[in-house]
C-alpha cells in the first residue's frame, strides 16, 4: 500500500466473521497512521448489516460511509445488492446495465412455461443426473475472465445445497488450461461427473496468429487463424469428447461478455439454485454448517463468546 492512495470498502454481513475483521483491522490501522483518523474515515466505506452490529457501531463512531447488507439476503445471493454493486462499479463496470440484464432475465423466467423454463430445466436436469449417480458438477468455460465468476458459482451451489447429507459437489475448470490437468479424469475417470459449459458466443476480441515462411515450429496449419477461432474449435472438440466419454454435458450460451448479459447470468443461476435446492429438499438460503468450524476456531483462539 505504500505510496498509493488507499480507500477501503469492508464488506461483512456478520462482523464476527474473522477473515474480514482481521483484514480490516490491519488496513484501518495503516490508514489511520498515514492519513490520520479523520481523513482515514472519509476513505472508509463499511457495507454490513445495519442492526447495531459492531461494524455499524464502529462506522457511526468514526464517521464511515455506511451501506446496508440486506438482512434477508445471504452473501452468495448479494451480488445484485449494494454488497456487490459498489465493488463492481468501482471496477468500471456499468451496474445499471448489469441490473437491466438481471431484470430482463427475471421477466423471461416469469413468462416462460414451466415445461420450457430455462432455469427450471437446468435445475431439474442436474437433480435427475444426481439421482443417476452423477454427484459432481463442473462449471467449464474457455474464457479466463470468468475465473472469479466461477468461484462465486461454486459458493452459490455448494453453500445452498450441501446439507443433510445431500447436494451436488460444485467445482470449476478453466479450459483449455485445466484440460491438461483434469482432462484425463474427466474423460476416463469415474462416471460421477456432469458438466455445465458457459459458452461466450462472441468473445469481442481478436488476435491473429502470424504467418511464418518456414514451418520450423510445426504450426503452419494455424497460420492466419484467429485465437477466437482456435478457442471455439477447442470448445467444440471438448464437448464432443466429453459426451463421447460418458459425461452428461449442458451448455449455457451467453451472447457476449457484457454487463447486461452477466446480469442475466447472475440472476439465472441464483433462481436456478433456488429451484434446484427446493427440488432436492433443502433450504437453499441458509448455511448452518458454516458455523461448525467457526465454533472450533473461536474456542481455539480463546474467544469468550461463541455465536
Which amino acids are annotated catalytic? 159, 180, 294
How many CB atoms neighbour CB 283 within 10 A? 14
Tell me the sheet residues that pair with 150: none
The CA–CA distances, whole Å, from 159 to 110, 191, 216, 219 equal: 25, 24, 51, 45
Q: Which three cell numbers stand for residue 166?
A: 445431500
C-alpha 131/C-alpha 135 separation (Å) is 8
Q: Which three cell numbers stand for residue 44?
A: 472508509
C-alpha 91/C-alpha 93 separation (Å) is 6
Tell me the sheet residues that pair with 138: 171, 195
Report yes or no: 140 and 175 within 8 Å, Cβ to Cβ.
Answer: yes
Q: Which three cell numbers stand for residue 140?
A: 467449464
Report yes or no: 194 and 129 within 8 Å, Cβ to Cβ.
Answer: yes
The secondary structure of 267-294 as a DSSP string is: HHHHHHHHHHHHHHTS-TT--TTHHHHH
Report yes or no: 273 and 161 within 8 Å, Cβ to Cβ.
Answer: yes
Amino acid at each position: 500500500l505504500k505510496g498509493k492512495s488507499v480507500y477501503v470498502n469492508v464488506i461483512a454481513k456478520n462482523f464476527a466473521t474473522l477473515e474480514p475483521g482481521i483484514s480490516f483491522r490491519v488496513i484501518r490501522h495503516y490508514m489511520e497512521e498515514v492519513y490520520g483518523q479523520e481523513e482515514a474515515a472519509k476513505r472508509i466505506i463499511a457495507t454490513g448489516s445495519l442492526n447495531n452490529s459492531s461494524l455499524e457501531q464502529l462506522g457511526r463512531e468514526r464517521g464511515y460511509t455506511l451501506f446496508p447488507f440486506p438482512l434477508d439476503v445471504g452473501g452468495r445471493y448479494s451480488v445484485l445488492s449494494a454488497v456487490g454493486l459498489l465493488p463492481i462499479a468501482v471496477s468500471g463496470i456499468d451496474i445499471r446495465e448489469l441490473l437491466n440484464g438481471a431484470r430482463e432475465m427475471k421477466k423471461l423466467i416469469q413468462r416462460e412455461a414451466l415445461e420450457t423454463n430455462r432455469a427450471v430445466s437446468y435445475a431439474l436436469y442436474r437433480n435427475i443426473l444426481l439421482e443417476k449417480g452423477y454427484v459432481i458438477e463442473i462449471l467449464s468455460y474457455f474464457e479466463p475472465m470468468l475465473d472469479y465468476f466461477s468461484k462465486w458459482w461454486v459458493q452459490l451451489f455448494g453453500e445452498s445445497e450441501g446439507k443433510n447429507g445431500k447436494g451436488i459437489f460444485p467445482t470449476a475448470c478453466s479450459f483449455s488450461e485445466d484440460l491438461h490437468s483434469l482432462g484425463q479424469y474427466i474423460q476416463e475417470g469415474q462416471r460421477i461427473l456432469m458438466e455445465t459449459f458457459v459458452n461466450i458466443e462472441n468473445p469481442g476480441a481478436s488476435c491473429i496468429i502470424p504467418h511464418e515462411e518456414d514451418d520450423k515450429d510445426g504450426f503452419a496449419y494455424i497460420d492466419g487463424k484467429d485465437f477466437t477461432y482456435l478457442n471455439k474449435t477447442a470448445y467444440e472438440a471438448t464437448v464432443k469428447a466429453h459426451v463421447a466419454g460418458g459425461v452428461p454435458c449442458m451448455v449455457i450460451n451467453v451472447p457476449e461478455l457484457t454487463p447486461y448479459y452477466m446480469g442475466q447470468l447472475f440472476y439465472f443461476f441464483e433462481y436456478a439454485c433456488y429451484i434446484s435446492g427446493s427440488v432436492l429438499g433443502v433450504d437453499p438460503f441458509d448455511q448452518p454448517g458454516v458455523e461448525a468450524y467457526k465454533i472450533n476456531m473461536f474456542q481455539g483462539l480463546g474467544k469468550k463468546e461463541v455465536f
